[in-house]
Structure 1
């Protein structure tokens, strides 16, 4: 174990900018939004399940917040059997170091029957579609909801209304059962998803026991109008591909919260954590009359899995066209169509790579600006246990690590405050080792650097004599500032190939892009499939970079990055943040006491 608890003699070593006053968030304090996370027996799509929910709903309620204003969101952990954090997926929180919601990196989790007040402030030009989700165990699969950052003025595209399409997967196992199985020796894999949830509803094709909870979601629209569909993949395991019956094109206008120039597609393919906003032109009454119906299916299928799981929603036109007879009859939402109305393609490797363009220039760094390159080799180790390694290291949330590589004793930001001398990564040693500090097992970066990150997948390694070489697809997600996605390809990464493929393109800012596998397997240890990002280091903090497949995260596929030196990160004196540095510290409220909270927005420049 590499993390060392503090000795008081080290406290004077922490460099600070200023101090803050503590605020008591008692009954006189009113948060801007309240989320309550519970566990309860729920029936979903015909399956009964002990489920983690936000505000007793699936998905959780949509949150809408303004740009560049401080917002307080109170999150209650009403569970009695688990910890909780809440992550604001896609939003960088550099000015609010304990608000990112990552138990491995930035904060102690909220203990059972306690609450925590998250302080958020999104920068200008971040209006778009995001989502919030728990960052503990497998809770994310259901404890999640849409998060919309509102445009301060009229958005750059005109539309008549908007709809949210929120995608999730679900299993007939509890969160704890899934985590226990993934951490077991031998591995107890939870299997394929039992169904897709579209806005919280579905009809499962797996052993339904409660037909009353089976239903298809309905997306209501009006003829002739143009809609902004906010499509959010809050998924767990599978690659999602979907399209709309008899609607053959729509325009992507935003990816991961960044506006793009319109890009016309006829379907969407999304990995866990990705978001696309599209302009969807509804059909006119004349067009609907030619088709002779008001209801059309949205068809959603899994990719990159052992079997295809298919589910549906209904795109329903209001009958303002005065249809009569059979044409006015709506399809049943209690059953799936007799036959799939669409034939969806197999995985589209490199979907939208090099195609999306920013709506305004976004300062994409050229190769000549790159100051350093970090290559992360990704590989599955198969034995009685299954572990995903990044450069030979796995990060696990609760200390379960069959290879004994890395077991964080506390959130890394807490470790830096507790003992900067022991826990601040050695930048020079990391550079000499290819980017990874050999002691702390983190990736340090200096403010002002321009880093190129290469994700390179290798064929799985086995120790039991069986044939190895298996591969998988990975939606890689970065906390903190967004990166420029520089594309990907098959085989071995090559810098010349990267530049050839980038020629004439205008990469967009993203926070989640996919490392494709291209084949189901390759030779053991053989390099197969790569992805490249470029990142300007200007957001100090402790940030996670990880695969957003929940099962892979639990199996170790996570890295921690430290952007900036101590003076950049530890901007408040240690005594002032004491309540944040202990599990169950006084920044957490409960039924008997109000939390004692810092307002980081009071810092100069925050």
Structure 2
């Protein structure tokens, strides 16, 4: 019956209008794949043949395929079930050039779990359905696939990555996504190395998710290991480190990807002093003041590493074998790790760490603010002024303990974001984007947000539980690191915004105010806001790491970013802590941009299966080509004939091969 109703809806939508029931998605910790029908969708118009082809004129169209599947990973003699991408962890690297139209088919071959794929840091301008979250789409059901279409621009240049946005799958489901400059990079290097950092627990992600959401709450604990490109050493130095092979007297661009799920790492090359040239996909003026970088979950840092001469390596007496140290901070107990820089013929007997105890610190201590305020963008851009700001949105994040229904339960813990709201995957039951296309009553509303009930901040729609913004405006978003209602302290959080880049204005300790912002700018060196899609909120005055506490309702610290809202950014954009367990426990909010502009963007070439759970979904370009071929023409009514589908498939290793 469920399948029949879904089929009827798909057929009706194909003709342009439908009213039918829509199933909500199974959750990643359920075993049944049968959707439950309990929501109705209002009529959804599909515009009458809006020819889309001009979008592709003169652009290269490239395709890739990623398969998410159940697997096992054995590290240091311990085998653990894990979801994998194309059979590996991390998954294959995808590499494109600004200007490309990219279509990635993500197929879910897991037995009983949904998935999605988010393209972390990619600006989904005019393609909000490809964001890869449960806000923007139905999850991909077992045995089904979804084609994500992205139109890459110069705004997307840099180091990015992809990962699942369901449950705790991001701990293992992810990989590098690199967008190159079309005319060459601003810095010169000989070769590059991609180093993807992962936290590793000897337990499946499903088990961790269940424990985090249970009434008998079970914290996941610190990771068992720190991995680089899937390899690492345990606390007692079992396992195998990842070897970064280099040659003498060359310049390497090292792309660090913060694919880890929890820890905030300091990273240093022993006996080397690389500089820094990229932060979260923004080129910066070469920074040589500190060769130790700090990498939180979701961050990406680019370093220029100048290798030694053969004589220097011999003089060091280390057999061409240099440690790369990773040490977690702001959390107890720490998780530390190693990778190895290996010169030609180096490490003949393997790698022996300079310290037999992996828990001993070799790098400097973590520090509030790191050196973020000192970093300068390489290229000129328009700095958003204070007098342009029309609204300030406050995200007051804090941890709470909720009442339970189970006698003698240990407790149910959650993280709250804006207006005491806790994000969970089961809300909304219909993804916001589907709500907008369907015209559902509870979809985000700008009018409601501008006229909130008493006690709710202006700009927040308490019905849809979203912030709402309109284009041609500038907004400030202040993230407060409020004291935990459980422990009265604070910890580090690294937040990610899913739309395009914002400008990190400042961070400070204590409560936020206009005066606090002024002092941070004048006394702490916050002069030039750095464009980014990531922002760290450090623990500040209530740091649990230092056994400090502060009263409930007060802030240990704050961070402020400024965002220019543009018309091409219409969509539903999550803002969340990128520490996976914190997101699972609800540390997120949503910013809806121009929600009233969403429905008209549904075009003749959009797949109506997008509106249904449990269906394969084709990209608009795929459907356009199919319709053109069905008409027996090699071009589309005389338009778009310059669009070149190069007929090649990215195999995931940065190479291309025929279909």
TM superposition score category, shorter chain reference = 0.7 to 0.9
> TM-score of the superposition, structure 1-length normalised?
0.86
**Aligned counterpart, 2:590:** 560
Instruction: Please point out which of 459, 472, 482 is paired with 1:448.
Output: 472
Equivalent in 463, 482, 485 of residue 458 of structure 1: 482
Gap regions ≥5 residues in structure 1: 23-29, 320-327, 400-406, 463-467, 590-594
Task: Decide whether the 8 Å contact of 1:263 with 1:356 is kept in 2.
Answer: yes
Post-superposition offset of 1:565: 3.8
Residues 559, 597 of structure 1: alpha-carbon distance in 2 compared, 3 angstrom cutoff: farther
Specify the alignment match of 2:375 in structure 1.
Answer: 356
SS at match of 1:117: strand
Deviation at 1:31, TM superposition (A): 6.3
SS of the equivalent of 1:514 reads strand
Alignment counterpart, residue 317 of structure 1, candidates 303, 321, 343:
343
Q: Which residue of the partner structure matches residue 21 of structure 2?
A: none
Distance 2:235 2:150 in 1: 40
Match of 2:278 in 1: 254
1:599–1:441 CA distance, 2 compared to 1 (3 A):
farther
Residues 313 and 568 of structure 1, relative CA distance in 2, 3 Å threshold: same
Is the Cα contact below 8 Å between 1:19 and 1:572 reproduced in 2?
Answer: no
Determine the structure 1 residue equivalent to 2:348. 330
- Within 5 Å, give how 1:513-528 maps onto structure 2: 513-518=535-540, 519-520=543-544, 521-528=549-556
- 1:40 partnered with 2:68: no
Name the CA shift for 1:76/1:429 in 2 (closer, same or farther; >3 Å).
closer
SS in structure 1 opposite 2:167?
coil
Aligned to 2:397: 378
* Contact 2:145 2:615 (C-alpha < 8 Å) held by counterparts: no
Note the alpha carbon deviations across 1:156-186, whole angstroms, 9 max, x for none: 1111111111100011111110110001012
Following the alignment from structure 2 to structure 1, what is the Cα–Cα distance between the partners of residues 625 and 234?
46
- Structure 1 residue ranges, 4+ long, deviating more than 6 angstroms after superposition: none
> Residues 97-246 of structure 1 correspond to what in structure 2 (within 5 A)?
97-103=128-134, 105-205=135-235, 214-246=239-271
Deviation at 1:369, TM superposition (A): 1.2
* Counterpart pick for 2:324 among 266, 283, 298: 298
CA contact (8 A) 1:245 1:297 kept: yes
1:535 aligns with one of 552, 559, 563:
563
Q: Could you tell me how far apart the structure 2 residues matched to 1:190 and 1:421 are? A: 38
Show the counterpart of 1:54: 85
Distance 1:89 1:169 in 2: 18
Alpha-carbon deviation of 1:241? Answer: 1.1
Q: For residues 587 and 625 of structure 2, what CA distance do their matches in structure 1 show?
A: 33
| C-alpha separation in 2, matches of 1:234 and 1:263 | 23
Count residues with an aligned counterpart. 560
Partner of 2:530: 508
Match of 1:285 in 2: 310
Distance 2:157 2:604 in 1: 34
CA contact (8 A) 1:18 1:572 kept: no
Show CA shifts across 1:392-451 (max 9, x none): 001111x2xxxxxxx311211011111254413243534653232111101110001100
**What SS is found at the alignment partner of 2:170?**
helix
CA–CA distance in structure 2, aligned partners of residues 584 and 336 of structure 1: 53
State the Cα distance separating 1:97 from its structure 2 match.
2.4
Distance of 1:54 and 1:7 partners within structure 2: 34
The C-alpha deviation readout for 1:184-233, integer Å capped at 9, x for no partner, is: 01201121101111111012237x9xx7xx21100011111111000111
2:68 and 2:555 map into 1 onto residues whose CA distance is 42
Aligned to 2:443: 423
Distance (whole Å) between structure 2 residues aligned to residue 191 and residue 547 of structure 1: 18
Check 1:281–1:21 CA distance in 2 against 1; reply closer, same or farther (3 A cut). Answer: closer
Q: Structure 1 residues 244 and 32 mapped into 2: Cα distance closer, same or farther (>3 Å)?
A: same
Q: Find the residue that maps to 2:424 and give its secondary structure.
A: coil
2:219 & 2:305 partners in 1: Cα distance? 39
Distance apart, 1:566 and its partner CA: 1.6
8 Å Cα contact 1:109-1:583 kept in structure 2: yes
RMSD after superposition: 2.9
TM-score, normalised to structure 2, is 0.80
Give the superposition deviation at 1:558. 1.4
Task: Answer whether contact 2:331 2:491 (CA < 8 A) is retained.
Answer: no
Contact residue 45 and residue 201 of structure 1 kept, 8 A: no
| Distance in structure 2 (CA, Å) of the matches to 1:125 and 1:527 | 34
Q: CA deviation at 1:470?
A: 2.6
State the partner residue of 1:486: 505
Q: CA deviation at 1:287?
A: 2.2
SS at match of 2:373: coil
> 1:537-559: CA deviations, max 9, x gaps?
11111111111010011101111
Structure 2 unaligned segments of length 5 or more: list them: 1-23, 25-37, 54-60, 403-410, 627-635, 644-659
Provide the residue aligned with 1:27 in structure 2. Answer: none
Change (3 A) 1:177 1:334: farther
Contact 1:427 1:445 in 2 (8 A): no
Asked if the contact 1:11/1:574 (under 8 Å) is kept, the reply is no
Give, in whole Å, the separation in 1 of the partners of 2:234 and 2:600. Answer: 49
The secondary structure found in structure 1 opposite 2:601 is coil
Over 3 Å counting, the alpha-carbon distance change for 1:36 and 1:501 in structure 2 is same
Q: Is the 8 A contact 2:231 2:240 kept in 1?
A: yes
Does residue 365 of the first structure (1) align with residue 384 of the second (2)? yes
* Aligned: 1:394 with 2:422: yes
